[in-house]
């Protein structure tokens, strides 16, 4: 399939130089790059383990508090 793309001049020049060094074509490099990006996008992100909480770990003051309040208390007196 034929298509037209617009890319930055410096990127095109770098790709052309690489293609010459590797004795391949700009088209081949473009296809390789697209395949890499498409394959990476199919890799599922690592699933985080469940967050373990301990009942009674928060005092009444912080039980229903927003994270910002808890964070501010944790870092109180430690700089900025």
Structure confidence at residue 43 (pLDDT) = 75
How many domains is the chain built from? 1
Can you give the pTM of this predicted structure? Answer: 0.50
Q: What range defines the domain where residue 30 resides?
A: 9-42
In a domain, 49, yes or no: no
Under the banding of pLDDT at 50, 70 and 90, the label for residue 61 is confident
Radius of gyration of the chain (CA): 26
Backbone φ and ψ of 16, nearest 5°: -60, -45
Residue 63 in contact with residue 69, Cβ under 8 Å? no
Residue 51 lies inside a defined structural domain of this protein? no
- C-alpha span between 50 and 31 (Å, rounded): 39
Residue spans of alpha helices (H) in the chain: 9-21, 26-42, 67-74
Q: Which of 1-5, 22-26, 74-78 has the highest mean pLDDT?
A: 22-26
Does 78 map to a domain? no
Cβ atoms 19, 28 nearer than 8 A: yes
């Amino acid at each position: 399939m034929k298509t037209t793309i617009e890319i930055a001049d410096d990127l095109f020049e770098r790709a052309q130089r690489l293609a010459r060094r590797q004795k391949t074509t700009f088209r081949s490099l473009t296809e390789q790059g697209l395949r890499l990006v498409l394959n990476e996008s199919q890799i599922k992100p690592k699933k985080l383990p469940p967050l373990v909480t301990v009942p009674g770990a928060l005092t009444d003051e912080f039980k229903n508090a927003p994270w910002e309040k808890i964070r501010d208390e944790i870092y109180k007196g430690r700089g900025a």
